[in-house]
Amino acid sequence: DTGVSQDPRHKITKRGQNVTFRCDPISEHNRLYWYRQTLGQGPEFLTYFQNEAQLEKSRLLSDRFSAERPKGSFSTLEIQRTEQGDSAMYLCASSSEDSHFGPGTRLLVL
Amino acid sequence: TQLLEQSPQFLSIQEGENLTVYCNSSSVFSSLQWYRQEPGEGPVLLVTVVTGGEVKKLKRLTFQFGDARKDSSLHITAAQPGDTGLYLCAPPGSGGYNKLIFGAGTRLAVHP
């Protein structure tokens, strides 16, 4: 199966620590998106890459968040100085036309 | 800004029952997508409806796009426990760069 993969699937961290998540998109997809989903809500858009260029960032993406896609393939999302409010499911999706989502990384900040 | 309202928020039914969930907006969309998200997984695309009044069937699931392309419904016949999940609607591309702006979803639980 060559779907979107994300690593890790689960992460528990203490407040103030930094965390980094990885997304491996479907190989031929040049579009990559990060979303965040909190309990009881639909996914909310965080940021978009076309190839290696980060073309859009949501206002949800505070200064503590940074995303990269250095070679236009995999992407990383880093959260610095995590806060309890960062606890959520972080979803990655890639697309050529329709979006294909990964299984997500569930983050719990204690 | 939430463009879409989904109802009901929660639905708990017994296996074999029929149900309908709704996705409504005051905006007109060129198309609308429905996704199902199982617990602990990412959303999976079920269908894209494009034409006003269009009806699409996927086994026991029937999707309808409103004539004015502002609303859509999903009807499930004879629900099964495997239908359990969060049903999300989103108009593809309405947010620019083809990003998805989802409704809050309908959480469906089908009990054996």
Whether the predicted pLDDT of A17 surpasses 70: yes
Alpha carbons B88 and B98: distance in angstroms, whole number: 16
Dump pLDDT digits (tens) for A21-30. Answer: 999 999 989 9
Q: A19-24 and B32-37 as β-strands: parallel, antiparallel, unpaired? A: unpaired
Structural contact between residues A42 and B105, judged by C-beta atoms closer than 8 angstroms: yes
Name every residue whose Cβ is closer than 8 Å to that of residue B12 and which is 6 or more positions away in sequence.
B108, B109, B111
> Average of pLDDT values for B76-97?
91
Whether the predicted pLDDT of B98 surpasses 90: no
| Cβ–Cβ below 8 Å for A43 and B88 | yes
| Cβ–Cβ below 8 Å for B42 and A4 | yes
Q: A19-24 and A75-79 as β-strands: parallel, antiparallel, unpaired? A: antiparallel
Which residue from A33, A41, A101 is facing B99, i.e. has the nearest CB? A33
Which residue, among A99, A100, A108, would best test binding to B if mutated, counting the most B CBs under 10 Å from its CB?
A: A99
Q: Chain B residues with CB inside 8 Å of A44's CB?
A: 102
Paired with A42 in beta bridges are none
Q: What is the pLDDT of residue B1?
A: 47
Dump pLDDT digits (tens) for A54-104. Answer: 999 999 889 999 999 998 899 999 999 999 999 999 999 999 889 999 999
Under the banding of pLDDT at 50, 70 and 90, the label for residue A1 is low
Q: Chain B residues with CB inside 8 Å of A102's CB?
A: 42
Q: Give the Å distances, CA to CA, from A102 to A94, B40, B41.
A: 8, 11, 8
Q: What is the CA radius of gyration of chain A?
A: 13
Q: What is the pLDDT of residue B2?
A: 46
| Cβ–Cβ below 8 Å for B42 and A106 | no
> Average of pLDDT values for A43-61?
94
Local structure of A87: helix, strand or coil: coil
Long-range contacts of B64-72 (CB under 8 A, 24+ apart): B65/B32, B68/B28, B69/B28, B69/B29, B69/B30, B69/B32, B70/B24, B70/B25, B70/B26, B70/B27, B70/B28, B70/B29, B71/B22, B71/B23, B71/B24, B71/B25, B72/B22, B72/B23, B72/B32, B72/B34
> Average of pLDDT values for A38-52?
94
Which residue on chain A is closest to B86 by alpha carbon?
A: A42
Under the banding of pLDDT at 50, 70 and 90, the label for residue B48 is very high
Q: What is the pLDDT of residue B55?
A: 97
